[in-house]
Amino acid sequence: MTNDQINRLIAIELGWKPYRHRRSDLWSLVDTKDNIVGRASHGGISEDHCWAVCNLDFCEDHNAVALMRNALKPEEQRLFTQHLLAVVNPGGPVALMWNLWKTLNATPLQQCKSFLRLRGKWAAQ
Q: What residues does each domain of the chain span?
A: 17-54, 72-118
CB 96 within 8 Å of CB 44? no
- pLDDT of residue 125 exceeding 50, the answer is no
pTM for this prediction: 0.86
- Summarize the confidence of residues 112-118 as an average pLDDT: 95
CB 29 within 8 Å of CB 35? no
pLDDT, tens digit, for every residue of 24-82? 889 999 999 989 999 877 788 999 999 999 999 999 999 999 999 999 999 999 999 88
- pLDDT of residue 22 exceeding 80, the answer is yes
The percentage of residues in the chain with a pLDDT greater than 90, rounded to a whole number, is 59
Mean pLDDT of the residues in the chain: 88
Burial class (CB in 10 A: 0-12, 13-18, 19+), 56: buried
